[in-house]
Amino acid sequence: MFLPVFDKAEPEILPEVDENEEVYSALHLGDMGLSNDAFRFALRGFERMKKEGKLLNQTVLTIIDFSQSSTKKRMYVIDLYKKVLLFNTYVAHGKNTGDEFAQRFSNIPGTFQSSLGFYLTENMSIGSKVGLSLLLKGLEQGINDKAREREIIIHGADYATEDFIKKTGRLGRSYGCPSLPPDVIKPVAETIKDGSLLFIYSPDKNYLSKSTVLN
C-alpha cells in the first residue's frame, strides 16, 4: 500500500505513550503484519528519545519489522499525532543477513549485514550509485553506531520491488541498507527526513538484551 504524504506540522501537544498504544489497534497494524512487540518497543524508544530532546520531528515514527518475510510490506511510517499510516512498503535487508528472512545482524564494516535498533534520520542526499537517499545516524553504541562509517542509508533499489519477488520468491538484498522500491524513496524520505525516529526490529535476543535505548 502506498499512501499519500500528509501535512507534518508539528503539534504543540503530543500524545503520550498510552494514547499512542491505541494507534496499533486503530490502524489495524497487526492485521497488516506488524508485530505488537515491534510496535511497543518502538514506542518505548520514541518516548525516551523525545524526553531526551533528540527528535526534531516528534510526530512521525518509522518501524521496519524484520521478523517478517521480505515478501511482505514490512516498513511502516506512522503519524502518531494524526493516527494515520502514511506508508506501508517493501524494504530489503543485507545480503549476509539472510535470504527471505533477516536472521543475522552486525555493526561491523564489510559484513554486508543489517543493523537493528534506533536511528535518527538526517538529510537527503544524491549519490552517483544509488541516486536519492536518506542519511541515517545510529543511536545505539555497539549496535548501529557505525552506520555512517558503513554508509548505511535508505535508498531506492530495483531489487526491492514486487516484480523482483515474483521472479525470485523474495526481495533482493543490499549491502546492509534498508532499501525501498524506487517509486517510494522520494516521498518516504521527504516525510521522515530531518530528525524523526526509525526503529529496525527483530526478535533477536542479543539485541533486546543489549539495546542501549530499551534497557
What pLDDT band is residue 18 in, cutting at 50, 70 and 90? Answer: low
User: Between 81 and 4, where is the model more confident?
Assistant: 81
**CA 95 – CA 38 distance, rounded (Å):** 22
Does position 15 have pLDDT exceeding 70, yes or no?
no
Note the pTM of the prediction, 2 decimals: 0.91
49 pLDDT above the threshold of 80: yes
Closest by CA to 91, choosing from 2, 156, 5, is: 156
Amino acid type, 192: I
Closest CA to 65 of 73, 56, 53, 57: 73
Over range 66-89, report the average pLDDT: 98
- Predicted confidence (pLDDT) per residue in 32-41, tens digit: 999 999 999 9
Here the cell at position 110 is 564489510
Q: Which domains does the chain have, with CATH numbers?
A: 17-208 (2.40.440.10)
d(C-alpha 36, C-alpha 107), whole Å:
25
**Residue 90: which of 183, 204, 196, 191 has the closest Cα?**
183
Confidence (pLDDT) at 187: 98
Cell of 33: 503484519
Q: What is the DSSP secondary structure assignment for residue 160, as one 8-state letter?
A: G
CB 24 within 8 A of CB 30: yes
> How would residue 54 be classed by pLDDT, with cut points 50, 70 and 90?
very high
| CB-CB contact of 120 with 177 (8 Å) | no
C-beta separation of 108 from 130 below 8 A: no
∠118-123-125 over CA atoms, to 5°?
A: 120
How far apart are the C-alpha atoms of 155 and 129, rounded to whole Å? 10
- State which amino acid sits at residue 3: L
C-alpha pair distances (Å), 155 with each of 119, 177, 180:
15, 8, 6
Is residue 21 very low, low, confident or very high in pLDDT (cuts 50, 70, 90)? confident
CA angle 66, 140, 124 (to 5 degrees): 75
